[in-house]
Amino acid sequence: MSVVAFERKQDSGEWSDKELRALVAAFGAALAPGTGREWETGMTERGDAQFYLLSPLPDQACELCVSRIGGRYVLEDGLGRLLFEHRNLELVGLHAKAAVPSTSWLMVRAITLWCAIRNTMHERFEPLLVEGEELFVQFVPQLAAFA
Amino acid sequence: MKRVKQQDVFAERRPVKAAPDAKQLRKMAGDWLKQRRADAEMSQADLAARLGLKYYTFISQVENGFSRVPIEIMGAWASELGLEQAAFARHLLMYYEPELYRLLFGAESK
């Protein structure tokens, strides 16, 4: 008889390697080099594991926190607001990824990109529009005369 | 609930003079909060329940020094620990905003 070994889900104690890998992967973009963010783990007094996503220096405050309580994963922000909870860590990871605060660095990149697009549009399409307007002004009286 | 003499409570564990960074100061604040909760003979779960939090994980987050006590619940936090609200806020300000604390109370605190 062959016995299939099911992986037993951890309910308390420190993070397993698998859980940590899942969390770090979920926060992959937020933890990318250049963001300045770091992560740390901790424990509650009851021995439940916590994972903290920390903001860049100098503050290094908790932006998001994932805790495991009795096999349930709880996602909170740095102000203690409950954002999501589920037994599936991957699902919690998806919500965590979406909840990462956008940094000013990302905002600057987005604004720069928007300005570049606007500038290109202005340079490429404005002459065409002006030309079209001039043609329109020239031809409208003639078309009106024919009508 | 065990009440602690406030004068003694606020007098101890002042931050060291060689300006520690924000993370270190939050950790010191967390240790102080943990001690005050222990004095009040409450668990993290007890305090969370009294503050109306669904989980006690945020209490741990603050006591481990990763977050601050939010201003909105600072008064309630103090009351649940049996401490005077203004003194509690002032003491936490010393850790969370040391420069502001120095500007406001610098002369008195020395």
Residue bearing the bigger pLDDT, A26 or A118: A26
Q: Which residue of A has its CA nearest to B58?
A: A80
Per-residue pLDDT for B104 more than 60? yes
The domain containing residue A141 runs over which residues?
Answer: 102-147
Residue bearing the bigger pLDDT, B1 or B72: B72
The string of pLDDT tens digits covering residues B12-55 is 555 444 456 899 999 999 999 999 999 999 999 999 999 999 99
Handedness of CA B28, B29, B33, B36 (dihedral sign): positive
The string of pLDDT tens digits covering residues B63-100 is 999 999 999 999 999 999 999 999 999 999 999 999 99
Quick one: A94 and A113 in the same domain?
no
Task: Identify all chain B residues contacting A76, using CB atoms and an 8 Å cutoff.
Answer: 55, 57-58, 61
pLDDT interval class at A110 (50, 70, 90)? low
Per-residue pLDDT for A147 more than 50? yes
Average pLDDT over residues A29-57: 92
Per-residue pLDDT for A115 more than 50? yes
Quick one: A63 and A122 in the same domain?
no
Per-residue pLDDT for A109 more than 70? no
Tokens of A81: 């607001």
pLDDT interval class at B2 (50, 70, 90)? very low
Average pLDDT, chain A: 83
Residues in Cβ contact with B79 at an 8 Å cutoff, skipping those fewer than 6 apart: B85
Residue found under tokens 């005077």: B84
**Separation of alpha carbons A69 and A67, rounded Å:** 6
In a domain, A3, yes or no: no
Per-residue pLDDT for A87 more than 50? yes
**Separation of alpha carbons B20 and A82, rounded Å:** 31
Handedness of CA A122, A128, A133, A138 (dihedral sign): positive
pLDDT at A13: 85
Task: Identify all chain A residues contacting B68, using CB atoms and an 8 Å cutoff.
Answer: 61
Maximum Cα–Cα distance across chain B: 41
Quick one: A90 and A131 in the same domain?
no
Tokens of A71: 């096999």
ipTM comes to 0.77
Q: Which of residues 47-106 of B touch A (CB under 8 A)?
A: 53-58, 60-62, 64, 66-68, 70
Per-residue pLDDT for A5 more than 70? no
Query: Å from B52 to nearest chain A CA?
Result: 11
Quick one: A95 and A109 in the same domain?
no
Quick one: A115 and A97 in the same domain?
no
In a domain, A6, yes or no: no
Per-residue pLDDT for A8 more than 70? no
Q: Which residue of A has its CA nearest to B74?
A: A79
B35 touches chain A (CB under 8 A): no
Q: Where are the domains of chain B?
A: 24-109
Q: What is the 3-class SS of A51-102, one letter each residue? A: EEEECCCCCCCEEEEEEEECCEEEEEECCCCEEEEECCHHHHHHHHHHHCCC
> Which fold, B24-109?
434 Repressor (Amino-terminal Domain) (1.10.260)
Residue bearing the bigger pLDDT, B19 or A13: A13
